[in-house]
Amino acid sequence: GAVVSQHPSWVICKSGTSVKIECRSLDFQATTMFWYRQFPKQSLMLMATSNEGSKATYEQGVEKDKFLINHASLTLSTLTVTSAHPEDSSFYICSARGGRLRDQPQHFGDGTRLSIL
């Protein structure tokens, strides 16, 4: 149980392109979803938290107009990197959490490797 699917797993595109990444909870309802960015050999950096039907809460320093997050249903959240540039190249990982209890763990997708040329 608790499977999170992230798609695509790998994207290469030209500078200036917008890229959409999907995160789906396959067998549970995700009341909260999280988006992380991970640089090589580093830990995960939280970008934003989204609750179903609400606007995402962005971490300090993360441009909300650059990284658009939509959490329209209890099983799907999307991250759109708008007008992507080479510095946006990174490994993006989503996670989903079901229920309201604070001890519920986050379940992670397999990540998306984004390369901007």
Partner 1 sequence: AQSVTQLGSHVSVSEGALVLLRCNYSSSVPPYLFWYVQYPNQGLQLLLKYTSAATLVKGINGFEAEFKKSETSFHLTKPSAHMSDAAEYFCAVSGGTSGSRLTFGEGTQLTVNP
Query: Which residue, 71, 77, 104, is CA-closest to 92?
Result: 77
CB of 6 to partner 1, least distance (A): 7
Binding mask 8-37 for partner 1 (x = CB under 8 A): ------------------------x-x---
Give the one residue of 19, 30, 47, 49 binding partner 1; rule: CB under 8 A: 49
Q: At 2, phi and psi to the nearest 5?
A: 60, 55
Give the one residue of 22, 62, 89, 108 binding partner 1; rule: CB under 8 A: 108
The neighbour count for residue 15, using CB atoms within 10 Å, is: 12
Give the one residue of 105, 114, 115, 117 binding partner 1; rule: CB under 8 A: 105
Give the one residue of 42, 61, 65, 86 binding partner 1; rule: CB under 8 A: 42
Per-residue CA distances from 68 to 2, 42, 65, 77, 89 (Å) = 25, 24, 6, 10, 16
User: How far is residue 84's CA from residue 99's CA, in Å, rounded to a whole number?
Assistant: 34
Q: At 88, phi and psi to the nearest 5?
A: -85, -5
Asked if 107 touches partner 1 (CB under 8 A), the answer is: yes
CB of 76 to partner 1, least distance (A): 17
Residue with Cβ nearer partner 1 (71 or 107):
107
